[in-house]
Structure 1
Amino acid sequence: MQPFTTLEAIAVPLDQPNVDTDQIVPARFLREPRQIQAEIYFYDLRYDDEGRPRPEFVLNQPSYNGARIMVADRNFGCGSSRECAVTVLLDNGFRTVIAPSFSDIFFNNCFQNGVLPIRLDADRVKQIREMLHFSPGARIAIDLANQTVLGPDGKTDHFAVDSFRKDCLLKGVDDINLTLSYEGDIAAFEARQRETMAWLG
């Protein structure tokens, strides 16, 4: 997992509330390999019934090409639990999603995969989205260490983040990496256990 420290990038506004995981990765694609899933994210919103790109959908608009920050509406990532709803965002370059609220499972899956979910006040998030629509290609800067978001208007907002999750993102470690960092201690414990509890077999 790549560490997350600071990020300054183009941001894309997504105005729909309650964007669920089936919109991010439609269920019919769940058995596809990760590489294919990355190509079909938001498929039913990005394409019409004939498979043609919908020019009105924001992720199809050239001004937002290269965006690495998504600014969404409330309850983003709701619906069924599927980790690929996060990995397809990551595989398309997104390291941060800013929204007023998230599904709990999606929110936690973000941290496990190196994506930073940021909760900000709903009115402020709406204001940022409006600025991004007005000035396509506008950038946002994020500083995880200081827990700040610098908006397109130059205003700085502070966000809350769990200290443990923050430390893991800064170091680029997930739960598995963290556990493996204690491999020596685990081996020593198991050796002592074999000596003192031989009856365990």
Structure 2
Amino acid sequence: MKKKKNWNEKALPAQRAGTLRNRPWWLALFLAVSVAAPGTALAFGDQARGVYFDAGGVPVADLDVGTWVAGIGVLLPWKLDALPAGGAHSFYWDLFLNNWNAQDDFDSHTNFAQVGAALYWRYRFDEGRSPWYGELGLGGSLMDRLYHTPERQFSTRFQFTEAIGMGLSLGDHGQHELGLRIQHFSNADIRLPNPGETFLRLRYAYRF
């Protein structure tokens, strides 16, 4: 008698290929800029502590079936003593608390809580003098329970996260920040299925 395959087994090749194809360049790029960064930016409040609120969702055509996310967080500068002061580069820790609002199996919506931390590298254009910046982040998170929708099923509460974004500093000392980023969550195939989830997020931050 032939063994009947369940939906998890059928999904393994595509999910594994997608995850392994996308992840290496994120990690390699993050490590490369971390090692090569020659300095830390002092202008525009990049080395000041801050708090933020952000919100976003999964880019889909039908807004009724998409997952929405809202979060708050604390920004803690990470200063490297080996690097000279000034320049276009800086690092900071992002400690965050998120709420995911997703469709469930009964055409209603349910919430998933998430906590996590990520280390960001920021590059400020024009050798640190521009109000515009780009950044990359890498970290981990933990959800209160397994995330699931009619289309996606996570197999672990723990998820890695990678983010890429850009933004603009406003105010006399750059204390106000508006940023847009793409953030991905998945478990790096610790356990399958591993469909992952990707959000487009708008963030407002205030630096003290």
User: Does the alignment reach a TM-score above 0.5?
Assistant: no
Q: Which bracket does the TM-score occupy, shorter chain normalised?
A: under 0.3
TM-score normalised per structure 1? 0.24
TM-score normalised per structure 2? 0.23
More helix by share: 1
Relative contact order, higher structure (CA 8 A, sep 6+): 1
